[in-house]
Structure 1
Amino acid sequence: MANDFHFEELGSRAFEQLSSALVSAEFGPGLEVYGSGKDGGREAVFQGTISWDGGARVWRGYTVVQAKQREHVLAPADNLAWLQSQIRFELNHWMNVKRHRGKFPDHILFVTNVRLSAAVDGGVDRIREFLVQELDRSHASGKKDTPRMRGLREIRVWHRDTLNALISNHRDVRSAFPALLTVGDLLERLNSLPGLADPDALASILREHSESALRHDRWVRFGEAGGLHARQSVDRVVVDLPVISDDDRGNVLDECMGRGEPVLRRSVPGNGWPRHLVITGAAGNGKSTIAKYLTQIYRARFLEGATSVAAVNEIIADTAESLERLMYEAPTSRRWPLNVSLPEMANDMGPSGGPSMLRWLSRQVSQRASVEITPVTLERWLKAWPVILVLDGFDEVTAPSLRQRVVDEIMEFVDRADELDADLFVVLTTRPTGYTERIRPTDFAQIDLDYLAGDEAVSYGKHVTTQRLHDDVSLREQVLERFDRAVAQASTGRLIKTPLQVLILTFILENVGDLPATRYQLFWSYYDTVYRREQEKPTSHRAFLRGHRDDITELHERVGLVLQTRCEGTDEAQARLSLTGLRSLAHDRMIEVGHDSAAGAGELADQIVEIATTRLVLLAAGEDDSVSFEVRSLQELMAARALVNGDDATIRENLVATAPSPHWRNTWVFAAGKLFGESDHRRRLVLDIVDQFDRTCAGWPGWIYPVGPELAADLLDDGLAETKPAALRELVTIALRCLAGPMPENPAHIAGRLSDAARHGQLNALIRNELRAAFAGTPAAVAVAGALVLFSSTGGASGVSAPGQPAKAAMEEVTKRWFTPPPQKPRVKVGNLLGTPLKELRDEPGAALVEAALTECNALTLYPTSDGELWPELISRVFECERLQSVLDDVEASGILELCLGDLEPRHWAARSHLAREIAAVRSRRPVSNRLAVPYLD
């Protein structure tokens, strides 16, 4: 008797893939497979000749393949009724002329997992009779038109018994779908692995790894998301987060699990879409929590029914319960999961010479297994079993050399997986600011975490408070009551846009405290609340905390700034400060405030260090006698306060130095938030820096890529000017300068902030007028304005618009050139384009420097479009442009380059934008610590 394979273990998309793979294997070339999404009732189409029954019957022409998977297979009689209804539904749609399904088929093959009775006059015979009747039945009331009259010659069904036989015959197809593998298949695969005496050994080792990881990696410390001592399992505190993808607002878990359901082997038909995923999200948006939970979902699914460890089975049950709470079903695909901290991996790899990604992963698995796993063994497992690899925290890898190494290793790993025909799904998380690499868009799709809507934030606040205070009913009810009152205030909406902000607000409300008005005040109130709570405890440290608050706070600020500079200026992705270094900072502070006795200063420094690391616990001590901030945003908060601790000249110097850097952006916005709340004078100082930066900063070529619009958008996003109409209008005006070009690195961010501002009537008029002027201007202005209009209305937002704007389709055509891989056409090199206008300027001072840099410019390529414009080719590497940087640092050479770019044809504006964006990406990553006016950094 043939095997009865578990087709229900396949997701719907994987079953479609299986159907197409079997048709291809059975009938040979001629199959065209449709990817996920709307397929017009066609999983695949076959153009050619199909022989049935040993050649006794032949189909010639256009055959449509449709897959019909039933999730729960019942009795044959019930299956028959279900299948008949499915076929009739499809035929009704084919016959409806209002539903465009493309070419009408000559034949249709239905592939289904339901079993039909083979008895005489049973389901197999009855479905044949049914198909003949349907060919001659009119599918519209009062019409004589039938499928046969329209040209449909025959319909056939492959039912469960047919599939069982086909899969048994086509071993290669079976191997591509691990859910269909028998125990014998898997043991046969594992037997071929080197160095394993026992065929069960590898499966046992990797199960052991998953059991250990599931037990130890499930925890979310509230310290990691709010500084509290308690911890909770991620399945209890996680919530699904909104994302914007393909102009729609969806949910991140739906996106991730949906993309992980199909078989993602390169050889499986229909796998032409990007198979991997990049998730971007702002600070505190929950990227790491989602990464942790996604890993737990797949670990639980991998171990389900395969472990006898009671504690592990309890976690599996908890995970299933959490999925039910979030209204999801467990993945059907049993992917073996790995969760990787990219900063940790980058540290171990270094810029060069360190282990490859495959070797590093092998070592990580070996640490939780009973034997060492070699790279060769791990490769074989990749080939044998589906894998999900979650890469968390790319934004924390800041040094350019480390970022390039990580990107190279990821792409090499993906390429190697394709060579092995592995079923691999990679998910990478990062902040959007500074994510210029756009890791190979042909392989990696991108989705962006959206801010929480009001009702989503309220729901999360209530859920996380219930979990965090589950053992204190009275306090929980008080906090929830205060939370309800707080969110009823309109201004609170600006403070609860991310899970971290919501959690911090609930903690502040737990300890009463004043309701903050800005994001900076929210995070600072959190520190203040933690400090006051510790200060009020009846401990021996109480008096010291009261008398040395300034010193303890100053230490946190200095540590924040030291760590912030350290991880941008070295090849350390995870910056830590030794306890010796921490004590040195505390000792220096004591000397500065007048404790000139070495012994006295040292004793005070020791007390400050003890309180900072054991009482306030915002600084977490590591096993290597070092400290770091558990919450990256708190490190950035403290660094921000240190940056603006001085007179106007010092503040200006520090803010100008850090303004272009993506590594410093969140810190910069925190610093601006502090200054905005101090005085009109300090608010004016911030606005002047944003307004004048691109015109006056000697170290930044604002003429080629202005930073001011991005800074203005970030301050608008922060909401710090919401109650200051004059400042709000000024920031909107600066943000609108992006319309002059080049195409901004993140137009969606600027568009969203303009959309928010447009709710104010006068600002809406300002925005509309500027957009209208742009649509009547240069091709570059039209393109940027179109991008702002399109991105402003994603995710259901009302968006911005202007009289005279092009049709939506025209704006989409231009905008997509910046965010999709170009078609493969003859390339145009930027250096060659600039070489033509340079010929007339060769005798000018500085021209020689520009000419020497043109070779670097040729690394940037574009593709001509049918309308004569250019389509930029995105690069997934650091743009090597040392000579170009020298040009920009030379006044005369920079002027020559500006003239050359200005002489390009208007329709070739994309060349200038492409060059500007890549130059900015490199220049913004330059370390700035040597330019900061902070004595202790020396």
Structure 2
Amino acid sequence: MASYDLQRLGGVGFQDVVAALAITQFGPQVRPMGRGKDGGRDLLVDRGRIVWSSKDDENSEVWEGTTVFQVKHKETLEGTQKDPSWFWKQIKDELDAWSMPDTTRGDVPAYLVFATNVRLTPVSGTGGFDTINAKIDDYIAALNNDAAEDDLPRSSQDEARKRRRARRDRMSRLQKWRLWDGNQITGLLDAHQEVRRAFDGFLTAGDVLADLSALSTSLSQEQLGTALREHARTTLLSERRVYFDEAGGETKGVPVEEVAIDLPVLVGDPATSDRVIGYVLNRGEQVLKPSVTTRAKPRHLVITGAPGNGKSTVAKFLTHAYRAVFVGEDIDLGDDHERAVTRTKEALRAMGVRVPAHRRWPININLAKFALEQGTSEDYTLLRWIAQDLNRRVNSKDIPRWELWTWLKRWPSFIVLDGLDEVTEPAVRQALIAHIEAFAADLESDSCDALVVVTTRPTGYQDEVPTEVFERIDLSDLAVDDALRYGRLVTRVRVPDDEERRAGIIALLEQAALDDGLKRLLRTPLQTLIMSIIAESSGQFSPSRFALFWGYFKTIEQREQKKKFAYGKLLRDHAPQVLDLHLRVGLLLQQLAETAEGTDAVLTLDELRDVAWRVLDDAGYEPSNNDKALLEHILTAAMHRLVLLTLRPDGGYGFDVRSLQELMAAYELTTGTLEQTIPRLRRIAASPHWRNTLLFAIGRYFSEPQPHQKQEATDLILTLDDDAPERLGSVFPVSPYVALEVIDDGMVSEPKYLYPLVSHAMKALGDVSGGLGQQEARMLVSAATGSEAVRRLIADGLREALGGPAMSRGGAEFVQQAVTDTGHAMHLRTEVLGLASVRRDDSKRLSDEPVPDWDLFDETLFAYSSPGTEDALEIVKALITDLRRVVDVDDDRLEEVLTLLEVPDIALVFDEALSNVAAGEPRLMAIMRHELLPGIWRRQVDLGDGVP
């Protein structure tokens, strides 16, 4: 009999092992009950038949009825005395819970199986196995002992006897029980090698990993073993660091385990208190091999996070954690590797997260780079890219992709696909999503134990990755306490040797956390980091996100200007030109990132030279003649880092943080008269790629003491969907959602501008295409904490929606449920919680349900069509007809319709016709929002003439 380390499985992994063994031994009638509250039923056979033999013969013991398996895993074994005592206590607690008359559990099952990793000694009569069975016998006998109460005071005898008999009556249903101890589990694993192999990531000893040929004769030890181990060791150090250092500071980065924080996450249950690192690692502790897993689909994950929310850092840390565990038992680790492994495990424990026991081989793929190089090629798969990345990073013989695929089928893996939001060009994005779908399908069909995690921003993400395969989880805002904890963490990393400076920075952050106008800035790791940097320099915070980021730029600029070297003088003497360079580069990169070629947008040195030349030329300098030296000085400074412009690790110049690129693009777009700038903002409003830029741009207007700018910005938001047939704006509004994001951003405080935006945002409740989701509901709940006046406006909007048609009522009820679910977790005041109790005005009758007028739809198409648009409109109409019938539409046909809708006359007529049916066709509108709208919203934006 082999010996397996059942302790390292942990509670989750051990329960999965027991489930897999029980299903293999007894058949599919054994049903795992999942995690969480299960009524004492980890596994259940509901009125089924269990045969306790490998063969169904006349001597087999047969259980007919309900059988419950209860799984008990002991993290640390302590010996033959303490371990059986612990197991008996677990069993007794369960028997007590089953027997109590007031239990919330159902009927006591006919049969119980207690499974544990504790190995019970087999000595007859006195060993742990016989002792525990005897204790269960004694427990049952005690319930049948009518003399049990004789020693009690007479006054309490009757009540005690009544309760014991009630417990006896409940337990009388129990006919038999069995113990599956560690010895039994080991024997079953030996007997069922297909289950044993599925749990190699848990059970295989570290030295076996050194000889991968021991796992399977189909794996080439010479090619694969060395490469995989070398890849894990190399990337444990080379991909360990995050680069948030401010300009002029050290650019070597910081180990991710020193700055990672476990962020709150919204999952299917809005009231959950889950955190993303714990949630993902808990999922990874389960064997996800489809042939044996107890985890129902969806098994893979999509993590969405707003700008600066730390999703890429989380993804990096998760990958790093799995690398640390994968190589942690190697005997040939260097000192740096040992420190990385130790500190990573310490970081996990500090978060209250168990170190992964399931040793998955990890890989982190930058989707932008994959899409840029090969994303549109049908022949170039994610598997080939992973193999290419593996071969690029190791010195061993090249690994062919089929060998790598054999490894993925044989060994558990953790695969991060980071940055879906950075792929915005519609055709490239569509091809990339097809690659992800195909990759996940191949993993499923070949029964690979893989956990795939995709990261993206939520804006513009329409669940394109199939929801039946990928569960979506959304990063939430940091709680104030979490933000302060992170602030202390990064301050300790940034200022390691000056306790007085650290204390001053932290004190300013703590003061900001007490200020209602400032604490909303402490909502993401990036913003908290920026506040710590500003606190160190000026100590002055402005209560808007734009002002915070702009203050960061000015802080870094001033710091660099004060330094006593040549670049400091350059920055002082030519500050306007340096700023102009940042603005132009930011806008140019933001535009390039929309294209198929610019997914991972950077500028070459020649391109940067061209921008700098134009900056100097526009300022009246002569960069080709007398001021050529100045141009070269600016470029030389850029090579070392010019304020926020930096030479990227993979070559080219850009911004380390995408939000800073978007900030500069926003400032450049809002440079000029309002007559010039407002149309630019209107053009970018619907694009997910430009949304953060839009918010920064509007934030700039609201941060300046110019009432006419604030009014123009407000009017822009309120009218975004007016005259926007090119994106079907009358049917698929973006304006209420932009208003909601602006409110949530905290940039608007004056009632004159805030109240109209709140009222307008409430129109999202009636969006027939179903755009209102958890993030939007959370934003409304957050807005309600602002003031009594805002709460009244939200209450009025809820009341009106509750009196409207079914779609509006559903939206209002969704928000009210969010108030209830999140209220106590967010410690909301009573008056905010009261929004869940708002009811419609009973004096008014419910609105009639809208009825689609398809005749008018056809008439509109006919009346406004012309010889040049008639055929195109027929094609568009045919698509709508098929979508109404829930007919699958191929991608080529969708592409054709999207191309036709780029023609202004066709879009205008279609938008008008669709408005006649939209309100009465919510299902059709939801399908169109998912299938058609992403392609429309992600069109490359034409900023128009006069862009700086």
* Same fold at TM > 0.5: yes
1:180 to 200, 203, 206: 203
Equivalent residue number for residue 767 of structure 1: 794
Equivalent residue number for residue 127 of structure 1: 132
Distance in 1 separating the partners of 2:247 and 2:61: 67
Distance in 2 separating the partners of 1:334 and 1:499: 29
Distance in 1 separating the partners of 2:104 and 2:821: 27
Task: Within 5 Å, give how 1:472-487 maps onto structure 2.
Answer: 472-487=498-513
Note the C-alpha offset of 1:613.
Answer: 3.8
Distance in 2 separating the partners of 1:96 and 1:856: 62
The amino acid across from 1:10 in the alignment is L
Equivalent residue number for residue 109 of structure 1: 113
Aligned-partner SS, 1:338:
strand
Q: Deviations over 1:668-704 (max 9, x none)?
A: 1111111112311111111111111212335332211
Distance in 2 separating the partners of 1:229 and 1:85: 55
Aligned-partner SS, 1:464:
helix
Q: Deviations over 1:298-341 (max 9, x none)?
A: 11111122132222112111112222322323111111111111
Equivalent residue number for residue 443 of structure 1: 469
Note the C-alpha offset of 1:517.
Answer: 2.8
Distance in 1 separating the partners of 2:702 and 2:453: 38
Note the C-alpha offset of 1:496.
Answer: 1.7
Equivalent residue number for residue 372 of structure 1: 398
2:739 to 709, 712, 722: 712
Task: Within 5 Å, give how 1:492-503 maps onto structure 2.
Answer: 492-503=518-529
Closer/same/farther in 2, CA of residues 411 and 350 from structure 1, 3 Å limit: closer
Closer/same/farther in 2, CA of residues 330 and 834 from structure 1, 3 Å limit: farther
Equivalent residue number for residue 820 of structure 1: none
Distance in 1 separating the partners of 2:142 and 2:892: 63
Are the aligned partners of 1:33 and 1:45 in contact in 2 as well (CA < 8 Å)?
A: yes
Are the aligned partners of 1:264 and 1:423 in contact in 2 as well (CA < 8 Å)?
A: yes
2:640 to 587, 607, 614: 614
Residue 482 (structure 2) pairs with residue 461 (structure 1): no
1:91 to 76, 91, 95: 95
Closer/same/farther in 2, CA of residues 149 and 551 from structure 1, 3 Å limit: closer
Closer/same/farther in 2, CA of residues 601 and 110 from structure 1, 3 Å limit: same
Unmatched segments (≥5 aa) in structure 1: 807-832, 864-872
Are the aligned partners of 2:223 and 2:399 in contact in 1 as well (CA < 8 Å)?
A: no
Equivalent residue number for residue 729 of structure 2: 702
The Cα RMSD (Å) is: 2.9
Q: Deviations over 1:889-938 (max 9, x none)?
A: 566875566556645794x533233324543322110101x3333456xx
Equivalent residue number for residue 360 of structure 1: 385
Note the C-alpha offset of 1:405.
Answer: 2.1
Q: Deviations over 1:731-755 (max 9, x none)?
A: 1011112233224535333322322
2:577 to 528, 536, 551: 551
Note the C-alpha offset of 1:548.
Answer: 1.4
Closer/same/farther in 2, CA of residues 934 and 350 from structure 1, 3 Å limit: farther
Unmatched segments (≥5 aa) in structure 2: 145-159, 842-851
Residue 164 (structure 2) pairs with residue 143 (structure 1): yes
Query: Greater CA deviation, 682-691 or 36-45?
Result: 36-45
Are the aligned partners of 1:244 and 1:794 in contact in 2 as well (CA < 8 Å)?
A: no
TM-score (norm 2): 0.88
Equivalent residue number for residue 812 of structure 2: 785
Equivalent residue number for residue 656 of structure 1: 682
1:170 to 192, 211, 227: 192
Distance in 2 separating the partners of 1:574 and 1:133: 70
Are the aligned partners of 1:45 and 1:62 in contact in 2 as well (CA < 8 Å)?
A: yes
Residue 72 (structure 2) pairs with residue 68 (structure 1): yes
Are the aligned partners of 2:731 and 2:918 in contact in 1 as well (CA < 8 Å)?
A: no
Aligned-partner SS, 1:880:
helix
Query: Greater CA deviation, 125-134 or 208-217?
Result: 125-134
Distance in 1 separating the partners of 2:486 and 2:815: 30
The amino acid across from 1:25 in the alignment is T
Equivalent residue number for residue 324 of structure 1: 349
Equivalent residue number for residue 86 of structure 2: 82
Distance in 2 separating the partners of 1:719 and 1:315: 40
Residue 183 (structure 2) pairs with residue 161 (structure 1): yes
The amino acid across from 2:723 in the alignment is T
Equivalent residue number for residue 936 of structure 2: 923
The amino acid across from 1:347 in the alignment is L
The amino acid across from 2:66 in the alignment is Y
Query: Greater CA deviation, 751-760 or 338-347?
Result: 751-760
Aligned-partner SS, 2:894:
coil
Are the aligned partners of 1:338 and 1:390 in contact in 2 as well (CA < 8 Å)?
A: yes
Residue 282 (structure 2) pairs with residue 277 (structure 1): no
Query: Greater CA deviation, 201-210 or 666-675?
Result: 201-210
Q: Deviations over 1:571-610 (max 9, x none)?
A: 4310111111111111112222222573124333222222
Note the C-alpha offset of 1:888.
Answer: 8.2
Equivalent residue number for residue 716 of structure 2: 689
Q: Deviations over 1:43-100 (max 9, x none)?
A: 2223433233673422112222222221122323323222222222222222345444
Equivalent residue number for residue 118 of structure 1: 122
TM-score (norm 1): 0.89
Equivalent residue number for residue 329 of structure 2: 305
Distance in 1 separating the partners of 2:250 and 2:854: 60
Q: Deviations over 1:755-779 (max 9, x none)?
A: 2332311221121122112111111
Are the aligned partners of 1:850 and 1:884 in contact in 2 as well (CA < 8 Å)?
A: no
Distance in 2 separating the partners of 1:546 and 1:803: 58
Closer/same/farther in 2, CA of residues 150 and 460 from structure 1, 3 Å limit: same
Distance in 2 separating the partners of 1:224 and 1:268: 49
Are the aligned partners of 2:99 and 2:170 in contact in 1 as well (CA < 8 Å)?
A: no
Equivalent residue number for residue 210 of structure 1: 232
Aligned-partner SS, 1:502:
helix
Equivalent residue number for residue 828 of structure 1: none
Closer/same/farther in 2, CA of residues 506 and 875 from structure 1, 3 Å limit: farther
Note the C-alpha offset of 1:446.
Answer: 1.6
Aligned-partner SS, 1:110:
strand
The amino acid across from 1:409 in the alignment is H
Q: Deviations over 1:3-47 (max 9, x none)?
A: 121111212122112112212222234222223333222222234
Distance in 1 separating the partners of 2:449 and 2:815: 38
Equivalent residue number for residue 28 of structure 1: 27
Query: Greater CA deviation, 140-149 or 875-884?
Result: 875-884
Task: Within 5 Å, give how 1:172-251 maps onto structure 2.
Answer: 172-178=194-200, 179-181=202-204, 187=212, 190-193=215-218, 196=220, 199=221, 202-223=224-245, 229=251, 231-245=253-267, 246-247=269-270, 248-251=272-275
Aligned-partner SS, 1:250:
coil
Aligned-partner SS, 1:391:
strand
Closer/same/farther in 2, CA of residues 511 and 228 from structure 1, 3 Å limit: farther
Query: Greater CA deviation, 467-476 or 179-188?
Result: 179-188
Aligned-partner SS, 2:727:
coil
Identical columns (%): 33
Closer/same/farther in 2, CA of residues 29 and 848 from structure 1, 3 Å limit: same
Are the aligned partners of 2:616 and 2:623 in contact in 1 as well (CA < 8 Å)?
A: no
Closer/same/farther in 2, CA of residues 502 and 17 from structure 1, 3 Å limit: same
Aligned-partner SS, 1:35:
coil
Distance in 1 separating the partners of 2:243 and 2:464: 31
Are the aligned partners of 1:240 and 1:251 in contact in 2 as well (CA < 8 Å)?
A: yes
Equivalent residue number for residue 868 of structure 1: none
Note the C-alpha offset of 1:137.
Answer: 4.6
The amino acid across from 2:945 in the alignment is A
Residue 559 (structure 2) pairs with residue 533 (structure 1): yes
Task: Within 5 Å, give how 1:543-692 maps onto structure 2.
Answer: 543-596=569-622, 598-622=624-648, 626-678=652-704, 679-692=706-719
The amino acid across from 2:836 in the alignment is S
Note the C-alpha offset of 1:643.
Answer: 0.5
The amino acid across from 1:640 in the alignment is A
Aligned-partner SS, 2:143:
coil
